C-alpha cells in the first residue's frame, strides 16, 4: 500500500464504493480505507429511486444493479387496525414517467455489486481512522492499526459517526427524535401470500407508527422495517438485538394480515432515530464529506442511500471538470447542499402522515394530496443528476431554506 496517495476515500460502505466507481468512470483513481475487516454493511435493505438509479447507471452499473435489484409494483397502504385500503403508490408508472427503475436491494447484494468492478488492491480493510492532520499540501490520516497515509485530497464517506466530520467540526450533538425503528428479515416462503396481497409491498399506518414489509433478493426475502413514536430512550445504531415479543407488543390490535406477519418474526433488531442539524459543514479545503457523514437524514423519504449515490456521481463530474480538486469540492457543495437540505426537510415532514392518529385524518390528508409518503416527492424523483450535475436544482418552497 502506498504511504502517499492522491485521493483517499475514508469509508467502504455504499457511499464510499459508489464514489470510487464514479471516479473510476471518469478515469480518476482513489484508495479506499475501511474500518471493517471485510466489506459488509449492517442492515437488511436499501431503496434506490429513479434519479439515483440514473446516477448509478451513468457510471456503468445499470446492468449490474438490475441483476440484484427487486422491482416492486408499488406501496399498498392500509390502516393498521382495520386493514382498510388507503392508497397505492405505483412504482411502475413512476419508472416509466422518470425514465429509470425504482429498486429495492438487499444491502449486501448492492455492496458486492459496487465492489465487483473495483481494484481490490485499492481497498484497504481493517483501517479504522483515529486522527486527521490538515496540511497546506496534504492530509495526514492515522489509523488504529498503526498505518499512516498522506493524501492530497480526502473524501469522507465514513457514515453517521464520521471520524473525519468530528475531526473537522467536533460533536454536532445529535438529538433523539422520540422515534424508534424495528427491523427483521423473513423468508418469503414462510409468509402466506395473502399477507402482502395484492402487491407484495404493503405499508400499514396507525396511531403514532407505521410498518413496511416488502420483497428483496429476487423475492426470496421479505424486509420488515417499522417506525414508531416512543417515550422510551432507544440507542442509536443498527445492531441492537431486539425482543420479538416486545416488537409485537408495540403494535396493539393489528389487523389480521399484519398480526400474522408479526407472529412470524423470530429475530429482530432495533435502534433509535436521531437528527443532526442541517449544516453547511460538508468539508473544507482538501477534505470533502459525502453521504451520511455530510447529511445524515431520517428514513421517511427513502433517500439516505439515494442522496449518497447522487453525491458520488456529481462529485466525480466536478473532479473531472476542474483542474483543482479543492475548487471541485467547493462547486460540489454549492450545487448539492440546497437540494440535500430540501430532502432532509422532506424526510422530517413525511412522518406526519405516517403517524396521524386516526383513519379519518389519514383519508383527509390523502384527499388533500398531502397524505402519501411520496406524494409530494416528485421534485426528488424527477431530478436528473446526469443532465443537471452542474446546476443548482429547484427545491419547493415548503422544503427550501
Please indicate, yes or no, if residue 8 is contained in any of the structural domains: yes
C-alpha closest to that of 194 among 117, 126, 259? 259
Please indicate, yes or no, if residue 284 is contained in any of the structural domains: yes
C-alpha closest to that of 19 among 394, 298, 309? 309
Which contiguous run of DSSP H or E holds residue 273? strand 268-275
Task: Return all residues near 209 (Cβ < 8 A) that are at least 6 apart.
Answer: 80, 226, 227, 228, 229, 250, 251, 354, 355
Q: Which residues are 369's β-sheet partners?
A: none
Q: Taking a C-beta distance cutoff of 8 angstroms, is the pair 106, 222 a contact?
A: no
- DSSP H helical ranges for 149-277: 163-169, 244-249, 256-263
Q: Identify the residue whose cell numbers are 388507503.
A: 86
Q: Tell me the C-alpha distance between 96 and 290, whole Å.
A: 29
Q: Tell me the C-alpha distance between 63 and 103, whole Å.
A: 13
- DSSP H helical ranges for 174-229: none
Q: Identify the residue whose cell numbers are 464517506.
A: 157
- For residue 258, CA distances in Å to 7, 83, 160, 345 come to 49, 8, 32, 30
> Which domain, by its residues, includes 36?
4-48+107-173+277-399
Q: Taking a C-beta distance cutoff of 8 angstroms, is the pair 156, 289 a contact?
A: yes
366-380: burial string, b at 16+ Cβ within 10 Å, e else: beeeebbbbbbbebb
Please indicate, yes or no, if residue 219 is contained in any of the structural domains: no
Q: Tell me the C-alpha distance between 180 and 273, whole Å.
A: 6
Please indicate, yes or no, if residue 237 is contained in any of the structural domains: no
Q: Quick one: cell of 324?
A: 483543482
CATH number of the domain to which 149 belongs: 3.50.50.60
DSSP code for 393: P
401 residues of the chain, pLDDT tens digit each: 456 789 999 999 999 999 999 999 999 999 999 999 988 766 679 999 999 999 999 999 999 999 999 998 999 999 999 999 988 989 999 999 999 999 999 999 999 999 999 999 999 999 999 999 999 999 999 999 999 999 999 999 999 889 999 999 998 777 888 889 999 999 999 999 999 999 999 999 888 889 999 999 999 999 999 999 888 877 776 667 899 999 999 999 999 999 999 999 999 999 888 877 899 999 999 999 999 999 988 888 899 999 999 999 999 999 999 999 999 999 999 999 999 999 999 988 876 666 666 667 766 766 665 554 544 688 999 999 999 999 999 999 889 87
Which contiguous run of DSSP H or E holds residue 204? strand 201-206
Residues in the chain: 401
| Total tally of structural domains belonging to the chain | 1
Packing angle of the helix pair 107-116, 14-25 (nearest 10 deg): 30
Q: Tell me the C-alpha distance between 206 and 222, whole Å.
A: 21
C-alpha closest to that of 253 among 395, 1, 79, 44? 79
Q: Tell me the C-alpha distance between 238 and 223, whole Å.
A: 14
Please indicate, yes or no, if residue 255 is contained in any of the structural domains: no
- Residues identified as active-site: 214
Please indicate, yes or no, if residue 224 is contained in any of the structural domains: no
Q: Which residues are 215's β-sheet partners?
A: 222
Please indicate, yes or no, if residue 294 is contained in any of the structural domains: yes
Amino acid at each position: 500500500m502506498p504511504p502517499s496517495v492522491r485521493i483517499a476515500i475514508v469509508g467502504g460502505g455504499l457511499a464510499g464504493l459508489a464514489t470510487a466507481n464514479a471516479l473510476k468512470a471518469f478515469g480518476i483513481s482513489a484508495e479506499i480505507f475501511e474500518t471493517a475487516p471485510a466489506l459488509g454493511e449492517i442492515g437488511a435493505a436499501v431503496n434506490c429511486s429513479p434519479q439515483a438509479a440514473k446516477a448509478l447507471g451513468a457510471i456503468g452499473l445499470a446492468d449490474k444493479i438490475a441483476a440484484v435489484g427487486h422491482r416492486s409494483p408499488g406501496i399498498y397502504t392500509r390502516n393498521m387496525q382495520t386493514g382498510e385500503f388507503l392508497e397505492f403508490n405505483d412504482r411502475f408508472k413512476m419508472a416509466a414517467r422518470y425514465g429509470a427503475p425504482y429498486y429495492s436491494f438487499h444491502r449486501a447484494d448492492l455492496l458486492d455489486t459496487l465492489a465487483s468492478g473495483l481494484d481490490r488492491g485499492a481497498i484497504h480493510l481493517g483501517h479504522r481512522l483515529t486522527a486527521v492532520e490538515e496540511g497546506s499540501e496534504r492530509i495526514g490520516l492515522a489509523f488504529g492499526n498503526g498505518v499512516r497515509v498522506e493524501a492530497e485530497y480526502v473524501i469522507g464517506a465514513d457514515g453517521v459517526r464520521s471520524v473525519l466530520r468530528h475531526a473537522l467540526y467536533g460533536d454536532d450533538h445529535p438529538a433523539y427524535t422520540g422515534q424508534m425503528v424495528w427491523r427483521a428479515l423473513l423468508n418469503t416462503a414462510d409468509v402466506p401470500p395473502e399477507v402482502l396481497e395484492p402487491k407484495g409491498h404493503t405499508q400499514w399506518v396507525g396511531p403514532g407508527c407505521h410498518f413496511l414489509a416488502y420483497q428483496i433478493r429476487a423475492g426470496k426475502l421479505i424486509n420488515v422495517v417499522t417506525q414508531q413514536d416512543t417515550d422510551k430512550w432507544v440507542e442509536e445504531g443498527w445492531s441492537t438485538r431486539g425482543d420479538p415479543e416486545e416488537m409485537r407488543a408495540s403494535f396493539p390490535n393489528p389487523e389480521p394480515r399484519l398480526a400474522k406477519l408479526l407472529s412470524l418474526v423470530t429475530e429482530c433488531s432495533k435502534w433509535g432515530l436521531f437528527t443532526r442539524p442541517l449544516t453547511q459543514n460538508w468539508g473544507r479545503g482538501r477534505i470533502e464529506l459525502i453521504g451520511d457523514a455530510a447529511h445524515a437524514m431520517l428514513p421517511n423519504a427513502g433517500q439516505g442511500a439515494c442522496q449518497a449515490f447522487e453525491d458520488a456521481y456529481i462529485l466525480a463530474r466536478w473532479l473531472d471538470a476542474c483542474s483543482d480538486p479543492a475548487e471541485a469540492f467547493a462547486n460540489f457543495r454549492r450545487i448539492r447542499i440546497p437540494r440535500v437540505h430540501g430532502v432532509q426537510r422532506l424526510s422530517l415532514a413525511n412522518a406526519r402522515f405516517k403517524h396521524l392518529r386516526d383513519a379519518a385524518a389519514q383519508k383527509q390528508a390523502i384527499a388533500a394530496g398531502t397524505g402519501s409518503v411520496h406524494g409530494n416527492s416528485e421534485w426528488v424523483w424527477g431530478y436528473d443528476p446526469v443532465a443537471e450535475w452542474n446546476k443548482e436544482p429547484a427545491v419547493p418552497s415548503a422544503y427550501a431554506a
